[in-house]
Structure 1
Amino acid sequence: MSTPLHQVTLRLHPDDEVVIARTTLEGGTVLLLDGEDEAVKSLVVRQTVPAGHKLAVRHIAPGAALHRYGQVIGFATREIVPGDHVHTHNLDLLEFPRLIAEAFPQPIQPLPTKRRITFMGYPRRWGGVGTRNYLAVIPSVNCAADVAVAIARDFTSERIAAWAHVDGVIPFVHQSGCTLRIGSPNYHLLQRILAGIIRHPNIGGVLLVGLGCECNQIAALLENHHLMEDPDAHARIRSVIIQESGGSRSATQKGIALVEELLPYVNAVRRTPQPLSELKIALQCGGSDSWSGVTANPLLGLVADEVVRQGGTVVLSETPEIYGAEHLLAGRAISMAVRDRLLAKVRWWEEHARQFEMELDNNPTPGNKAGGITTIYEKSLGALAKGGSTPLVAVYEYAEMITARGLVFMDTPGYDPVAITGQVAGGCNLVLFSTGRGSGLGSRPAPVIKVCSNSATCRAMPDDIDFNAGVVLEGTDMAAAAQDLLALIVRIASGQLSKSEQQGFGETSFTPWSLGGTL
């Protein structure tokens, strides 16, 4: 008995030599080919092909390029015939020419303000609009982290119930702050991250906790980033130094008193209608599978395009995870300067990987590969879909303050918590996170909305997934699903708790990037 190919597989582009199995295809299954351009009218599945994995429908010679999405995802390491399972055993990377579009597109002109969708947010005099209202306790150095945590944990949900408009008192623990050369790249990087959290629109008040002898002095942080010159800075920023307060116990008590002093100020703000142009959305993916590039990431891309049309900002990142597809994003840059800046970041990562005796193709994880992703080229092409189709207007350093509106790129590692930390420090007030294998990741102070590529994982992890993009595989129109997702984004930006927030997740996800060189 034979089955039509289109009933059990998905062809993503006419030029592809492979199709994607909708369900597990057992060896020996006979499939009827649909296209008139095929040399044969049927094929026999030669090995078991798991759901989401690639099935060859054309002959591929050893060394020949293989395509998915109409783009190169790798090169055959041996002869591949129709019916073969295509994966790590017969596909690998080679360098290939990446052609970049020569024209520079014009930035998108946003809708007039009065036609924009609104959400309920917290306007901040120091800049931006908050989707949450936290009070942050930030150690300058890891040596002060335990005191910072002790201060924050004193303010339980029951204790802060009297301040109904405060979402919580949260610590931002990190592993750095000393044994740094003052003025070094790592020193500036840490200070830029912490300054970004202090200025973040989701942070209403700040208590800085220092040890006293660390390299990352609180006074230097405030001075170097002109933090006390911000509107309301003297009303919303306090500090305590452990060595000047009689030790940890006394510093903890002093810190608790300072938080109590700040809470009425933080609680005084109210949500008001704000245009969607005030959203800065971090685009992320983690635990990706083969369907991520088919459902969840394109869905995020449609939403990203609409946010840009509304005058907002969407932020791609994870430079190692655009490798092999960087020419496509570079071809969307609005200027030569933006294009060159993006490509320079990719070249830096190539050299960085060489220095540490790594390869960028090490990036696909065992879970990615089990889910059907074979190479970094394939993963990058799927990941890039999160950025939609609008022009790339700017490229930012890690944790650099984002000021442009539209689609921008931030240079970050591919590790989700580190990447999100940079995006949030740059001002993102919401995180849109796609997954295929599933993730429990949360983030504070910016809520994470997790979008899953397939219904099976959604059913397996209902407490973690906010939106099921797998319905697209089951017949739901992609544009209709994007409208539903945008409506959810508006509700969560306005205060509805995401799944990770409902579980209290996010406190441990603050993970600043360290370039190395600890002494």
Structure 2
Amino acid sequence: MIPAAFPALVLHDADNVAVALDTIEAATPVAPGVSAAQRVARGHKIATRAIGVGDPVRKFGQIIGFALAPIGRGEWVHEHNCGMGETGGSIAGGYEFGSEVAAVEYVPEAERATFQGYRRANGMVGTRNYIGILTSVNCSATVARYIADAVNGSDMLKDYPNIDGVVPFVHSTGCGMSDEGEGFDILMRTQWGYAANPNLAAVLLVGLGCEVFQIGRMKKLYNIAEGDTFQTMTIQGEGGTRKAIEQGVERIRSMLPIAARARRETVPASELVLALQCGGSDGYSGITANPALGVAADILVRHGGTAILSETPEIYGAEHLLTRRAKSRDIGEKLIDRIRWWEEYCARNGAQMNNNPSPGNKAGGITTILEKSLGAAAKSGTTPLTAVYQYAEPVREHGFVYMDTPGFDPVSATGQVAGGANVLCFTTGRGSAFGCKPVPSIKLATTSDLYRRMTDDMDINCGDVLEGVTLEQKGREIFQAILDVASGRQTKSELLGYGSSEFTPWQVGAVM
């Protein structure tokens, strides 16, 4: 790195750009022998040496794009002069599998961190104690909301302080779709994944009755028997809307004393399944919050826990770094199979993977998907990749795992929760407002300015990494926050009431 006296940061010796630590005016020295050629906004890039047309632009020691025009020393580097070129996705020139698998120094079991969680009958551990109302189809969404509103708005919960609330998980699909294929399978996995998530003590599944997504079919497929903590009903079967609402309220009333039996107990951190998310990323995401979260993920893995990286369009161009960490070639090839699927998916829908950086990402200094992906992948830490899952598949392996999801945060997080995540960390540079019931969402700000401006939304300030706090120190702080939140401390998004509207299953396939 360059001396701290300069208002820009060079992240790696191989880099030919520096990142502005604040807005830099023209003629300001930004590196030894380099001055800004024009005004450059905070988080954006400045060339530290001349870059010829077609030459690679490097940040993090990796290629983030190629010069579309001659770039002079000190010039602003962004969309007008840097792009993907003809590379498409990975610029690795071929994939290596398992070439950089690091040995994990696991913490002895007797010395592992603990938290206060809810041990369920099936052995899984929850960090919250909600009752959920799932819907098989959009047509039953209103009834589900009315049932939840009736219970939450009454005094029914006052005698059950250890129940966190009743949450309706409604969505926009379930009919007008094929009854087989990718789209149907994803919805089926997502529904049962939520029903089985350990943060839900009990579940009521409400349908209309005539939809494509038939409740009876799901029960048969997963060998589900109804009981005290899982029940189903349809609006048509109950005789209409009013009767269905009344019956739903009574079903929830009967579940309350059963859900209230749960008590927090001391459990090892190995029971934590951490969802890793980023949204509203900026030029600092890959420098502060994401690598700090990666340190926390490494600590969790050393304590026997699990960390799930997702958002496949946002690791595009960095996947070659993950395949090198794969414990086996088969695991690495599963990841590349998902990359190829996404390339085909985008092609048949007339889209491009490099369309992923949003206007906000670009305003914050991110130029290409390669740059965004390299920063996003930092959330995964350094431990071996132990498994690759399709969307909403149950996560069974411990350690660092990957789940294929879109980059859109609500859809991605929904898949992770369906896979079994019981806590979530969400990094943001622009200021994403997000919650994820039934899973608590810990928000990590990439800059001190964002943390101050949106203090009611942000849980942890990672901007102090630019002010002298080490990534190791910040990672330990995040890990402790994960334990505290898993033990019941409410996050900012929970205090604001976020989370019941963010349930968004991935819709793949034709809407008919």
- Contact kept? 1:126, 1:199, Cα under 8 Å: no
Q: Distance in 2 between matches of 1:108 and 1:235?
A: 42
Residue number in structure 2 paired with 1:381:
374
Q: Which segment drifts farther, 334-343 or 215-224?
A: 215-224
Residue 5 to residue 32, structure 1, CA distance change in 2 (3 Å): farther
5+ unaligned residues in a row in structure 2: which ranges?
none
- Contact kept? 2:8, 2:31, Cα under 8 Å: no
Q: Distance in 2 between matches of 1:344 and 1:361?
A: 19
Residue 31 to residue 256, structure 1, CA distance change in 2 (3 Å): closer
- Contact kept? 1:5, 1:32, Cα under 8 Å: no
Q: Which segment drifts farther, 402-411 or 476-485?
A: 476-485
Please give the per-residue CA displacement for 1:325-348, whole angstroms capped at 9, x wherever unaligned.
110111110101001100111111
Aligned partner of 2:458 among 450, 460, 465: 465
- 1:98 aligns to 2:98 (yes or no): no
Structure 1 residue 106: Cα displacement = 6.4
Residue number in structure 1 paired with 2:437:
444
Residue number in structure 1 paired with 2:206:
209
Q: Which segment drifts farther, 12-21 or 111-120?
A: 111-120
Q: Which segment drifts farther, 12-21 or 121-130?
A: 121-130
- Contact kept? 2:314, 2:407, Cα under 8 Å: yes
Aligned partner of 1:167 among 164, 167, 173: 164
Structure 1 residue 181: Cα displacement = 2.4
Residue 103 to residue 279, structure 1, CA distance change in 2 (3 Å): closer
5+ unaligned residues in a row in structure 1: which ranges?
34-41
- 1:395 aligns to 2:388 (yes or no): yes
Please give the per-residue CA displacement for 1:247-286, whole angstroms capped at 9, x wherever unaligned.
1001100110111011100011100001000000000000
Residue number in structure 2 paired with 1:27:
26
Equivalences for residues 412-491 of structure 1 within 5 A: 412-491=405-484
- 1:123 aligns to 2:119 (yes or no): yes
Equivalences for residues 293-372 of structure 1 within 5 A: 293-372=286-365
Superposition CA RMSD, Å: 1.5
Please give the per-residue CA displacement for 1:436-463, whole angstroms capped at 9, x wherever unaligned.
0111100111010010100111111011
Q: Distance in 2 between matches of 1:457 and 1:487?
A: 22
Structure 1 residue 219: Cα displacement = 1.4
- 1:226 aligns to 2:223 (yes or no): yes
Letter in 2 for 1:434: T
Aligned partner of 2:493 among 493, 500, 511: 500
Q: Distance in 2 between matches of 1:343 and 1:495?
A: 38
Residue 68 to residue 99, structure 1, CA distance change in 2 (3 Å): farther
Residue 446 to residue 507, structure 1, CA distance change in 2 (3 Å): same
Q: Which segment drifts farther, 105-114 or 272-281?
A: 105-114
* Secondary structure, counterpart of 1:444 in structure 2: coil
* Secondary structure, counterpart of 2:338 in structure 1: helix
Q: Which segment drifts farther, 284-293 or 354-363?
A: 354-363
Structure 1 residue 127: Cα displacement = 4.0
- 1:404 aligns to 2:401 (yes or no): no
Letter in 2 for 1:242: I
Aligned partner of 2:43 among 41, 47, 52: 52
Structure 1 residue 31: Cα displacement = 4.7
After TM superposition, where is structure 1 displaced by more than 4 Å over at least 4 residues in a row?
3-6
- 1:68 aligns to 2:59 (yes or no): yes
* Secondary structure, counterpart of 1:204 in structure 2: strand
Q: Distance in 2 between matches of 1:388 and 1:181?
A: 39
- 1:82 aligns to 2:73 (yes or no): yes
Q: Distance in 2 between matches of 1:15 and 1:62?
A: 18
Structure 1 residue 9: Cα displacement = 1.0
Q: Distance in 1 between matches of 2:3 and 2:376?
A: 30
Structure 1 residue 162: Cα displacement = 1.0
Structure 1 residue 518: Cα displacement = 1.2
Q: Distance in 2 between matches of 1:138 and 1:32?
A: 56
What TM-score do the two structures reach when normalised by structure 2?
0.96
Letter in 1 for 2:316: Y
Q: Distance in 1 between matches of 2:19 and 2:398?
A: 36
Letter in 1 for 2:233: V
Please give the per-residue CA displacement for 1:109-136, whole angstroms capped at 9, x wherever unaligned.
6333211100000001124100000101
* Secondary structure, counterpart of 1:509 in structure 2: coil
What TM-score do the two structures reach when normalised by structure 1?
0.95
Letter in 2 for 1:282: A
Residue number in structure 2 paired with 1:273:
266
* Secondary structure, counterpart of 1:332 in structure 2: coil
- 1:43 aligns to 2:34 (yes or no): yes
Letter in 2 for 1:68: K
Structure 1 residue 52: Cα displacement = 1.1
- 1:287 aligns to 2:287 (yes or no): no
- Contact kept? 1:138, 1:207, Cα under 8 Å: yes
Residue number in structure 1 paired with 2:188:
191
- Contact kept? 1:432, 1:449, Cα under 8 Å: yes
Structure 1 residue 107: Cα displacement = 6.4
Letter in 2 for 1:490: L
Q: Distance in 1 between matches of 2:279 and 2:30?
A: 33
Letter in 1 for 2:422: N
Residue number in structure 2 paired with 1:38:
none
* Secondary structure, counterpart of 2:343 in structure 1: helix
Q: Distance in 2 between matches of 1:353 and 1:484?
A: 39
* Secondary structure, counterpart of 2:276 in structure 1: strand
- Contact kept? 1:145, 1:173, Cα under 8 Å: yes
Q: Distance in 2 between matches of 1:186 and 1:150?
A: 28
* Secondary structure, counterpart of 1:7 in structure 2: coil
Please give the per-residue CA displacement for 1:432-491, whole angstroms capped at 9, x wherever unaligned.
100001111001110100101001111110110000000111111221222221111111
Residue number in structure 1 paired with 2:177:
180
Structure 1 residue 159: Cα displacement = 3.3
Q: Distance in 1 between matches of 2:461 and 2:98?
A: 37
Q: Distance in 1 between matches of 2:3 and 2:231?
A: 68
